[in-house]
Chains A and B, each alone.
Chain A
């Protein structure tokens, strides 16, 4: 089970109302390489992967992704809560507003709803780990693109934190590949 802690993993501050930036950030909420996709992917893969260490990796990193999803949601909420419908429209969020009001929605920056087709659980440890390494690297690239396009240094501080976490997660999954290789060698010799 999970226990909710009434705080963010890392502080999220914004300089002010900025629906233009919020629209871009939604990519990491419900986009193909976003935090929802990551959390659902790892938490689903944890059951059948061999080795307690690899299960721990899927379980714990999947859980941390939920905390990242909450950070992105907080950014979007804070950047849009004071925006008028006209400001949302000017930012390209008019379609979002007429369908969802000020609620968030699991969609990408282009407004395409989240699809579970973004993610895979192959039931094959090496395939799953490589998928996850790729997912972390794609998310890292997306955070870099968001930082490049952002005009809010306070948001960039939290985005840089999230970018660094992708690096760490990728590193852990790469170590997971080494654990599998060792197991293979062990089998070959005995």
Chain B
């Protein structure tokens, strides 16, 4: 078993936190938009942050491994199990 939590590479937490911050803003906006679907400014912000999240996620996954099954790469080791679980970091 390889259950030892490794020390995280430089920038891991900062990069993860930037994703969490943008994704949280998107999540909260999405709840707001349920009851304010005509708010153009909120929709604009949502659209802009969605693009930002894509870029942040791409950069994070290139460096630290996949955040979802769908971004697992073709080369071994299988990235989904090669990176730590959220409760281990």
Residues of A within 8 A of B80 (CB): 6
Chain B residue nearest in CB terms to A67: B27
Q: Quick one: which of A8, A168, A175, A176 contacts B86, CB cutoff 8 A? A: A8
Q: List 26 A-B contacts (CB under 8 A).
A: A3-B68, A5-B68, A6-B80, A6-B86, A7-B67, A8-B20, A9-B23, A9-B24, A11-B13, A11-B16, A11-B20, A53-B35, A53-B37, A57-B31, A57-B34, A64-B27, A70-B86, A74-B86, A74-B87, A77-B87, A168-B28, A172-B31, A172-B32, A172-B35, A176-B35, A179-B35
Number of cross-chain contacts by CB at 8 Å: 63
Within 8 A of A (CB), among B16-30: 16-17, 19-20, 23-24, 27-28, 30
**Complex Cα–Cα for A64 and B57 (A):** 20
Residues of B within 8 A of A190 (CB): none
Residues of A within 8 A of B50 (CB): none
Residues of B within 8 A of A21 (CB): none
**Complex Cα–Cα for A7 and B34 (A):** 25
Chain A interface extent, by class? 20 to 34
Pairs of residues from A and B, 7 with the lowest C-beta to C-beta distance, nearest first:
A74-B87, A175-B35, A56-B34, A8-B86, A6-B67, A77-B87, A53-B34
**Complex Cα–Cα for A78 and B68 (A):** 23
| Closest chain A CB from B21 CB (angstroms) | 9
| Closest chain B CB from A94 CB (angstroms) | 23
Within 8 A of B (CB), among A139-188: 168-169, 172, 175-176, 179
Question: Interface residues of A: mostly helix, strand, loop or mixed?
Answer: helix
* Pairwise interchain contact B68-A61, C-beta atoms closer than 8 A: no
> Do A4 and B31 form a contact, CB below 8 Å, given A11-B17, A11-B20?
no
* Pairwise interchain contact B87-A73, C-beta atoms closer than 8 A: yes
Residues of B within 8 A of A169 (CB): 31
Residues of A within 8 A of B86 (CB): 6-8, 70, 74
B70 in the interface (beta carbon within 8 A) = yes
**Complex Cα–Cα for A168 and B27 (A):** 11
* Pairwise interchain contact B20-A7, C-beta atoms closer than 8 A: yes
Within 8 A of B (CB), among A62-76: 64, 70, 73-74
